[in-house]
Amino acid sequence: MAGSHEKSNLRVSAEKVLRFPGEVGVMMWEMGKEDPRRVIHSIKVGLALSLASMLCLLESLSQGIGQNAIWAVMTVVVVLEFTAGATLRKGLNRGVGTLSAGLFALFVEYLTADRPTPRAVVMAWTVFVIGAAVTYMRFLPTIKNNYDYGVMIFILTFSLILVSNYRIDDTTRMARDRFYTIVIGCGICLFLSLLIFPTWSGDDLHKSTIAKLEGLAQSVEACVGEYFGDAQTKEIQDELLKDSIDENCIKVLDSKYTDETMALNASWEPRYRWKCYKSPWQQYVKFGAALRRFGYTVMALHGCLHTEIKTPPSVRALFKDQCTRLAGEVSEVLVELANSMRNRRHFSPEILSSHLHIALQDLNTALQSKPQILLDSMNRKDSGFSLTASLEANSSPVHESATARPPEQVHGIQKVLRPQRSKLVIASLEFSETLPFAAFASLLVEAVARLDHVIEEAEQLGRMARFKEYRAGDDVA
Amino acid sequence: MAGSHEKSNLRVSAEKVLRFPGEVGVMMWEMGKEDPRRVIHSIKVGLALSLASMLCLLESLSQGIGQNAIWAVMTVVVVLEFTAGATLRKGLNRGVGTLSAGLFALFVEYLTADRPTPRAVVMAWTVFVIGAAVTYMRFLPTIKNNYDYGVMIFILTFSLILVSNYRIDDTTRMARDRFYTIVIGCGICLFLSLLIFPTWSGDDLHKSTIAKLEGLAQSVEACVGEYFGDAQTKEIQDELLKDSIDENCIKVLDSKYTDETMALNASWEPRYRWKCYKSPWQQYVKFGAALRRFGYTVMALHGCLHTEIKTPPSVRALFKDQCTRLAGEVSEVLVELANSMRNRRHFSPEILSSHLHIALQDLNTALQSKPQILLDSMNRKDSGFSLTASLEANSSPVHESATARPPEQVHGIQKVLRPQRSKLVIASLEFSETLPFAAFASLLVEAVARLDHVIEEAEQLGRMARFKEYRAGDDVA
């Protein structure tokens, strides 16, 4: 038995190993299908490497640049990045870093040429002082964000030149050769990156902003739809839906770092410069921040779906139409903003029209016309459970409503016991059941208020990026 | 006149230039005072550079490693990072990348040795295929997150060896030399980074988690304090307070990327491995995610401070004590969690005791005992303004309450005109004024529910990181 068990184990492992290349292959294929620019980028890197290598061969044949030709290969590997902006940023940093380090090294050489101290000591000391000082400077936020790579290359080149100089006497030639090869390497990279199927960081930022707007629009609508939907009948479907609402929102909320990187790279790209006075990338970042602000409210709205105290469906149904309509209007504004961005035009003035405000007023009227119902459910005490019992007996399992939780969750609670306590207490409290609904409505109104800020930033963005004027029917064409 | 103007302009510029070094100096000083480890790191880099340079000199004197010795300098510059984890990660990646590239290059050499095709063509083709294929692999998430640098070094070394091989015939020696020097460079880096005043990524992550807990505790308390405080009298102070609440919260919400980087670097650090079964760093990331979830609710709570419809102070005052107490309890739990982390012990079981739940019940009782007041303010219609007028005349400026906005804001609105419309409409609507209070109370209850999840993850973290058991009075000692 043990033997056959071992054998089957072995077979499972063998199957896993055999399946592995296939799985990786599928993953690679999916990756390429998801974003074909990845394939293009890989081919470009291969091409650049080949070109740089051939150059080395030619140069070594003619005994021109010599040993330093390998720097062209190195430059290609390090500088050629996925987007044009990142490549430009790295290439320029590398070029300027090398050039200034070379000049500085020559200057130090000149200063220390006729000193009586041994050259090795001077060199070690200089490398130490410059290395430490420049490394410290790298912590400055301005340098860290924009020129970190250039400063690193500065330290590298400076040390290499000083060290090599001790062995080779012709420092000037070495510095010159190295600079030439790096310029050639950067040239290959920039040519491939800017002229052959370029990938612009700015475009990525633009597209991700559109995707965020659409994601939020979906989120808002789905959230309200689910709140007023019949929760009992389609539990599983809801679980999926909840996750997708969550995901859209979290994508927006976590986008800060990627946004900033893309904007930074985009700011090195020359493309839009002649189109507008000022590069609008920082405005994209600001717009992203406004969207995140809006997203926090949507996230809180979404929290209302998971809340422990449920407003009875009968109360919710009273305000269903008004809330759904308001959410629909909010979502429409977001979609229109996304469309206007996609077509690089100003948004339609319709989004500032009174639809949204009429929807607001309707909700207001509905809330005012039925205060008695809200009050009724607030006063209803028979539906709750006794909390005092559960608080007195601290270790006894908390009373709970059978309808409020599915059985598998009860089992989970008894196993972990102490955590989730507050949730149980909240569920068993006689909190007025309209409280969460009031929160929901209030958050919806809050979302409308936050939308103002989003629209404002979008208008500013349209002005800075010089989007074209809105004309009805443009999108169709 | 123009001349003197020009002169004064010149003087201002000159003063600016003269002040600049001083300003940079102050900034540098502040930077060092903020985190003295930066100074230590800079000195370490200088030292490592000197050591590597001296090594090159010694080697070149004895004609040992030769030209390849500069790789030691290069390795030091590139590998030595601020934290030990990052250095280890880069160093190991570099070592393994170089080694495997060397072996692979030798293998390719062996395969192509006796082919009739010209060597240059074979070389260019090999470099192209391998470069493209490996670059494409870099897009795989697993490789991108952990081994990106190693793969880059693989491409680099592979190309360099093939190219150099065309010129120098002794490939084996070059690969061996290069590997030796890189090992020496990595050795210097690891020695300085792990043994001399090490900076642990894991410690940073631990400390930042504590700071986040404390920030959130402050945020919750300050937020509730401000909501029930007298808003009119201390406008300016509030503005500052609001910003600090905001800042604490946003720091938590934006921490995803830095958390993940720190956890990644920490997972390479050997330090805690012998203390616990499994590295707890991913649990820190999960704990951070739970804190962010909690933070969204706090952010929404904070949004209640800025809302356009204000609940009258008289209504708020009725529930002040209960809300403040509940917020105090929440904040106390967070502070206890922070303290337990700081002392690397499990949290006191007191945070699971009934204080929080009694506070919840008190709020509940208060809300139930005064429904009439809530209803009264809901029905009060004379305090509102007519919305219909503003909606009918779409282009006319919206009516607004003089008390609701300071005059300079009105001016701003008239200038921009269209944006901020929704805010005005919301302010002028006759929304029941208790709506935002209900939202506030509901969000507070929601925050308590979210706290459960935070406590759960903290318990899990304590178990995984093998914190010591809680004993009363431990913190004092």
Cβ count near B277 (within 10 Å)? 9
A246 touches chain B (CB under 8 A): no
Partner residue facing B128 (CB), from A50, A394, A450: A50
Q: CA of A315, closest CA in chain B: separation in Å? A: 15
| C-alpha to C-alpha distance for B130 and B148, rounded to whole angstroms | 16
Say whether B378 and A387 touch across the interface (CB within 8 A): no
Torsion over CA of A54, A58, A59 and A60, rounded to 10 degrees?
100
| C-alpha to C-alpha distance for A390 and A283, rounded to whole angstroms | 54
Torsion over CA of B43, B44, B45 and B49, rounded to 10 degrees?
100
Cβ count near B58 (within 10 Å)? 13
| C-alpha to C-alpha distance for A68 and B309, rounded to whole angstroms | 70
Closest residue, chain B, to A452 (C-alpha)? B420
Q: CA of A1, closest CA in chain B: separation in Å? A: 32
Q: Which of A125, A136, A365 to mutate to test the interface with B (most CBs of B within 10 A)?
A: A136
Question: In a 3-state reduction of DSSP, which class is residue A345?
Answer: strand
Which distant-in-sequence residues (6+ apart) come within 8 Å of A449 by Cβ? B307, B308, B422, B423, B426
Question: In a 3-state reduction of DSSP, which class is residue A156?
Answer: helix
Taking the whole predicted model, whether its pTM rises above 0.80 is answered as no
B140 touches chain A (CB under 8 A): yes
Partner residue facing A31 (CB), from B139, B435, B445: B139
Which distant-in-sequence residues (6+ apart) come within 8 Å of A59 by Cβ? A65, A66, A69
pLDDT score, position A328? 87
pLDDT score, position A151? 92
- Greatest extent of chain A over all pairs of C-alpha atoms, in Å: 99
pLDDT score, position B225? 82
Q: Identify the CA nearest to A297 among candidates A435, A437, A450.
A: A450
Closest residue, chain B, to A376 (C-alpha)? B371
- Count, residues in chain B: 477
A242 touches chain B (CB under 8 A): no
Burial pattern A55-91, b for ≥16 Cβ within 10 A else e, equals: bbbebbeeeebbbbbbbbbbbbbbbbbbbbbbbbbbb
Q: CA of A254, closest CA in chain B: separation in Å? A: 7
**Residue A34, Cβ density class (10 Å: 0-12 exposed, 13-18 middle, ≥19 buried):** exposed
Location of structure tokens 């090294």: A105
In Å, what is the CA distance from B444 to each residue of A246, A310, B329, B399?
21, 16, 11, 33
Type of residue at A453: H
Residues 391-450 in A contacting B (C-alpha not used; CB under 8 Å): 391, 394, 416, 418-423, 425-426, 429-432, 434-436, 438-439, 441-443, 445-446, 448-450
| C-alpha to C-alpha distance for B174 and B180, rounded to whole angstroms | 10
pLDDT score, position B396? 33
B26 touches chain A (CB under 8 A): no
| C-alpha to C-alpha distance for A140 and B216, rounded to whole angstroms | 28
Q: Which of A452, A459, A460 to mutate to test the interface with B (most CBs of B within 10 A)?
A: A452
Residues of B in contact with A159 (CB under 8 A): 49, 52-53, 73, 77
- Greatest extent of chain B over all pairs of C-alpha atoms, in Å: 98
Tokens of B4: 């003197």
Location of structure tokens 């033997």: A3
Torsion over CA of A135, A137, A138 and A139, rounded to 10 degrees?
110
Asked if B327 and B223 count as a contact pair (C-beta separation under 8 A), the reply is yes
Residues of B in contact with A49 (CB under 8 A): 127-128, 131, 155, 159
Alpha helices in A347-386 (DSSP H): 355-369, 371-379
| C-alpha to C-alpha distance for B292 and B250, rounded to whole angstroms | 9
Output the 3-class SS for chain B: CHHHHHHHHHHHHHHHHHHHHHHHHHHHHHHHHHCCHHHHHHHHHHHHHHHHHHHHHHHHHCCCCHHHHHHHHHHHHHHCCCCHHHHHHHHHHHHHHHHHHHHHHHHHHHHHCCCCCCHHHHHHHHHHHHHHHHHHHCCCHHHHHHHHHHHHHHHHHHHHHHHHHHHCCCHHHHHHHHHHHHHHHHHHHHHHHHHCCCCCHHHHHHHHHHHHHHHHHHHHHHHHHHHHCCCCCCHHHHHHHHHHHHHHHHHHHCCHHHHHHHHHHHCCCCCCCCCCCCCCHHHHHHHHHHHHHHHHHHHHHHHHHHCCCCCCHHHHHHHHHHHHHHHHHHHHHHHHHHHHHHCCECCCHHHHCCHHHHHHHHHHHHHHHCHHHHHHHHHCCCCCCCHHHHHHCCCCCCCCCCCCCCHHHHHHHHHHCCCCHHHHHHHHCCCCCCHHHHHHHHHHHHHHHHHHHHHHHHHHHHHHCCCECCCCCCCCC
Partner residue facing B159 (CB), from A43, A73, A452: A73
pLDDT score, position B151? 92
pLDDT score, position A257? 86
Residues 362-391 in B contacting A (C-alpha not used; CB under 8 Å): 364, 367-368, 371, 374-375, 378-379, 381, 387, 391
A334 touches chain B (CB under 8 A): no
Q: How many CA atoms lie within 13 A of B18 on its CB side?
A: 6
Tens digits of per-residue pLDDT, B336-378?
A: 888 888 888 888 776 666 677 778 778 777 776 665 555 444 4
Tokens of B467: 């914190």
CA B396-B401-B403 angle, to 5 degrees, is: 145
Tokens of B251: 């720091």
Taking the CA atoms of chain A, what radius of gyration do you get in angstroms?
Answer: 32
Residues 181-240 in A contacting B (C-alpha not used; CB under 8 Å): none
Which distant-in-sequence residues (6+ apart) come within 8 Å of A342 by Cβ? A210
DSSP type of residue A112: H
Residues of B in contact with A242 (CB under 8 A): none
| C-alpha to C-alpha distance for A298 and A300, rounded to whole angstroms | 5
Say whether A42 and B132 touch across the interface (CB within 8 A): yes
Asked if A371 and B432 count as a contact pair (C-beta separation under 8 A), the reply is yes
Say whether A445 and B431 touch across the interface (CB within 8 A): yes
Residues of B in contact with A373 (CB under 8 A): none
**Residue B21, Cβ density class (10 Å: 0-12 exposed, 13-18 middle, ≥19 buried):** exposed
In Å, what is the CA distance from B385 to each residue of A445, B314, B405, B419, B427?
18, 21, 15, 20, 9
A40 touches chain B (CB under 8 A): no
Q: Which residues pair with A468 in a beta bridge?
A: A345
Tokens of A112: 């220390």
Partner residue facing A423 (CB), from B358, B435, B449: B449
**Residue A98, Cβ density class (10 Å: 0-12 exposed, 13-18 middle, ≥19 buried):** buried
**Residue A384, Cβ density class (10 Å: 0-12 exposed, 13-18 middle, ≥19 buried):** middle
| C-alpha to C-alpha distance for A133 and B42, rounded to whole angstroms | 7
Residues of A in contact with B352 (CB under 8 A): 418, 421
Torsion over CA of A163, A169, A170 and A176, rounded to 10 degrees?
0
Closest residue, chain B, to A30 (C-alpha)? B140
Partner residue facing A39 (CB), from B136, B429, B445: B136
Q: What residues of chain B score a pLDDT lower than 50?
A: 1, 64-65, 231-234, 236, 273, 375-420, 476-477
Residues of B in contact with A441 (CB under 8 A): 435, 439
Size of interface A-B (CB pairs under 8 A): 345
Taking the CA atoms of chain B, what radius of gyration do you get in angstroms?
Answer: 32
Q: What is the pLDDT along chain A (477 residues), one digit of tens a residue?
A: 455 666 777 888 888 888 888 888 888 888 888 888 888 899 988 999 888 888 777 765 555 445 666 788 888 888 888 888 888 888 889 889 988 988 888 888 788 777 677 777 888 888 899 999 999 988 888 888 888 899 998 998 888 888 776 655 566 776 677 777 888 888 888 888 888 888 888 888 889 999 999 988 888 888 888 887 754 444 545 555 556 667 778 888 888 888 888 888 888 877 655 555 556 888 889 899 889 888 888 888 887 776 666 667 777 777 888 888 888 888 888 888 888 888 888 887 766 666 777 787 787 777 767 655 554 444 444 333 333 333 333 333 333 333 333 433 333 333 333 444 555 555 555 555 667 777 788 888 888 888 888 888 888 888 887 777 777 665 544
Residues of B in contact with A160 (CB under 8 A): 70, 73-74
| C-alpha to C-alpha distance for A448 and B308, rounded to whole angstroms | 11
